[in-house]
Amino acid sequence: MADASKDYVGSFPPGKKITVVFVIGGPGSGKGTQCAKIVNQFGFTHLSAGELLREEVKSDTEQGTMIKNLMQEGKLVPSDIIVRLLLKAMLESGNDKFLIDGFPRNEENRQAYENIVNIEPEFVLFIDCSLEEMERRILNRNQGRDDDNVTTVRRRFGVFQESTLPVIQHYEKLGKLRRVDGDRQPDIVFEDVKAVFAQLNIQVASTRKREGTEKC
Ligand SMILES: Nc1ncnc2c1ncn2[C@@H]1O[C@H](COP(=O)(O)OP(=O)(O)O)[C@@H](O)[C@H]1O
Ligand SMILES: Nc1ccn([C@H]2C[C@H](O)[C@@H](COP(=O)(O)OP(=O)(O)O)O2)c(=O)n1
Ligand SMILES: [Mg+2]
Question: What separation in Å is there between the alpha carbon of 60 and the centre of ligand 2?
Answer: 19
Sheet holding 177-181, edge to edge: 45-48, 97-101, 19-25, 123-128, 177-181
Ligand 1 geometric centre to CA of 29 (Å): 6
Q: Which residues contact 54 (CB under 8 A, 6 or more apart)?
A: 71, 145
CB-CB contact of 146 with 72 (8 Å): yes
**Predicted ipTM of the assembly:** 0.98
CA 145 remoteness from chain centre: 18
Contacts of 6 (CB under 8 A, 6+ apart): none
Q: How far is the CA of 206 from the centre of ligand 1 (A)?
A: 31
Long-range Cβ contact pairs of 33-41 (< 8 A, separation 24 or more): 33/186, 34/125, 34/127, 34/182, 34/186, 34/189, 34/190, 34/193, 35/99, 35/101, 37/186, 37/190, 37/193, 38/99, 38/193, 38/197, 39/99, 41/194, 41/197
CA 28 to ligand 1: nearest atom: 23
The answer to whether the beta carbons of residues 43 and 207 sit under 8 Å apart is yes
Indicate the DSSP class of residue 47.
E
Domains assigned to the chain: 19-207 (3.40.50.300)
Nearest CA to ligand 1 atom 13: 137
Over its length of 216 residues, how does the chain's per-residue pLDDT go in tens digits?
Answer: 444 556 789 999 999 999 999 999 999 999 999 999 999 999 999 999 999 999 999 998 999 999 999 999 999 999 999 999 999 999 999 999 999 999 999 999 999 999 999 999 999 999 999 999 999 999 999 999 999 999 999 999 999 999 999 999 999 999 999 999 999 999 999 999 999 999 886 455 444 544 444 343
Q: What is the pTM of this model?
A: 0.93
Stated as kind and residue range, the H or E segment containing 21 is: strand 19-25
Phi, then psi, of 25 in degrees rounded to 5: 170, 165
When computed from its CA atoms, the radius of gyration of the chain, rounded to whole angstroms, is 17
Residue 50 C-alpha to ligand 3 middle, in angstroms?
A: 7
Residue 141 labeled ligand binder: yes
pLDDT by residue (tens digit) across 172-192? 999 999 999 999 999 999 999
The set of protein residues with a Cβ atom below 6 angstroms from ligand 1 is 25, 27-33, 137, 141, 185-186, 189
Name residues contacting ligand 2 (CB within 6 A): 27-28, 31-32, 48-50, 53, 71, 74, 76-77, 82, 102-103, 105, 109, 147, 156
Cβ atoms < 10 Å from Cβ of 130: 13
Which residue's alpha carbon is nearest to atom 16 within ligand 1? 30
Residues composing the chain? 216
137 is in an annotated binding site: no
